[in-house]
Amino acid sequence: MKLTRLLPGVIMLPVLIGCSNAGEKTPASDPTPVKVIFETDMGNDVDDALAFDMLMKYAEEGKIELLGLSSNKRDNGSVEYLDLLTTWYGHPDIPIGRVENGMPCNDAVNYALAVVEMKDDAGNPMFSRSHDSDGFVRPSVEMYRRLLSAQPDSSVTVVSVGFSTNLAQLLESGADSISPLGGRDLVAKKVRQLVAMAGSFTENESDDTLRHMAEYNVVRDIAAARKVFAEWPTEIVTSPFELGINVLYPAKSITDDFKWTDAHPVVEAYKAYLPMPYDRPTWDLTSVLYAIEGTDGYFTLSEPGEIIVEGHGGTRFVPRADGKSRYLISDSSQCDNIARRFVELITAAPEKYAH
């Protein structure tokens, strides 16, 4: 998600403090590797790239099985950068999906494309890729259907940190040669939960603009977001705007903690996104952290309810005992723990570069 397009000059929102559901079972309770499909608008905000790095570290630790990557951003730079990343980290065979009939997205800065086009001193690409996008990258809905149909029932976690376009199209997909199930039934059968960075549920009742702000991931495809939050058949856990804005990734880490490599595609993306030094909110990273490590020391889960997407893209959370949705809440101490964990994970060298 991108803050600057929505709220120029925004100040920090107060952290929401929660007190319920602390003892519930979370993803970290199960030692089995989490099967993950990562849904991303890679190239819009650099937090997607940082979140991807976390997934790579979790995969190498055996905590997840990264089944596939799906871009909901309609440009070549997004999938090309995903290919570049999987190549650099040493995992080039992870399937990549591309949105079809996606929403236009005119970025002031596209860090993904910037890194793809970077050259070394000899004029060669700074970072290599493994695949021809036209041959390797498949339509996202096709990729989802193939991956889900091959997995055990109720085993897949979808981590969505971008627009809802691909997920809505998946729900609408019909039976085909891949699976006799329509999209909604296939999701109900194979997906355990959807963890999404989306929306805002701030309790700041004094400011109606903030209370019903149109968060970027929702507003880019309002119809798709409304469909997903209304019709997705499994549990949904959402990390809202007001959580990630209170946890900043430090610029000092970007400049000081990656001396173990001459060139890092996430570090270069961070530097290309905004003029350095800047500390970036970690919206997308919070969703990844919850999906893999659960609540312990980091989050509290809200009560159950439903998420309503309003006409302008604002979101409301309506508590309901039988609701399928919850959202994440963190107090100041939990936010400190989250920030430390992010730096610990992201600054570690991947296996390919560890000495």
DSSP states of 70-82: EE-S-SHHHHHHH
> Can you tell me whether residue 65 is helix, strand or coil?
strand
CA distance 163 to 210: 20
> Can you tell me whether residue 345 is helix, strand or coil?
helix
- What does the pLDDT profile of the chain (355 residues) look like in tens digits? 444 333 323 333 434 333 334 335 455 556 799 999 999 999 999 999 999 999 999 999 999 999 999 999 988 799 999 999 999 999 999 999 999 999 877 776 799 999 999 999 999 999 999 998 778 999 999 999 999 999 999 999 999 999 999 999 999 999 999 999 999 999 999 999 999 999 999 755 555 555 567 899 999 999 999 999 999 999 999 999 999 999 999 999 999 999 999 999 999 999 999 999 999 999 999 999 999 999 999 999 999 999 999 999 999 999 999 999 999 999 999 999 999 999 999 999 999 998 6
According to the model, what pLDDT value does residue 213 have? 78
Q: Is residue 57 part of a domain?
A: yes
According to the model, what pLDDT value does residue 12 have? 37
According to the model, what pLDDT value does residue 18 have? 37
According to the model, what pLDDT value does residue 3 have? 40
- We report the CATH number of the domain holding residue 328 as 3.90.245.10
Q: Is residue 20 part of a domain?
A: no
Q: Is residue 4 part of a domain?
A: no
148-151 LR contacts (CB < 8 Å, sep 24+): 148/179, 148/186, 148/187, 148/190, 148/191, 149/178, 149/179, 149/181, 149/186, 149/190, 151/35, 151/67, 151/190
Q: Is residue 14 part of a domain?
A: no
At how many degrees (to 10) do helices 165-172 and 140-149 cross?
60
Written as six digits, the tokens of 109 are 């800065």
The pTM of this model reads 0.91
Total domains present in the chain: 1
* Sequence-separated (6 or more) residues with CB below 8 Å from residue 207: none
Burial 226-251 (b: 16+ CB within 10 A, else e): bbbbeebbbbbbbbbbbbbbbbbbbb
Q: Is residue 260 part of a domain?
A: yes
Q: Is residue 8 part of a domain?
A: no
pLDDT tens track for 118-167 = 999 999 999 999 998 778 999 999 999 999 999 999 999 999 999 999 99
According to the model, what pLDDT value does residue 4 have? 35
CA distance 66 to 186: 19
Amino acid, single-letter form, for residue 246: N
According to the model, what pLDDT value does residue 13 have? 40
Q: Which helix (H) or strand (E) holds 325?
A: strand 325-329
Q: Is residue 229 part of a domain?
A: yes
Q: What percent of the chain has pLDDT over 70?
A: 88
Written as six digits, the tokens of 205 are 């009742």
Q: Is residue 17 part of a domain?
A: no
- Residue ranges making up the domain that contains 343: 27-349
pLDDT tens track for 170-224 = 999 999 999 999 999 999 999 999 999 999 997 555 555 555 678 999 999 999 9
According to the model, what pLDDT value does residue 212 have? 62
Written as six digits, the tokens of 71 are 């871009």
Amino acid, single-letter form, for residue 109: V
Written as six digits, the tokens of 134 are 């036209």
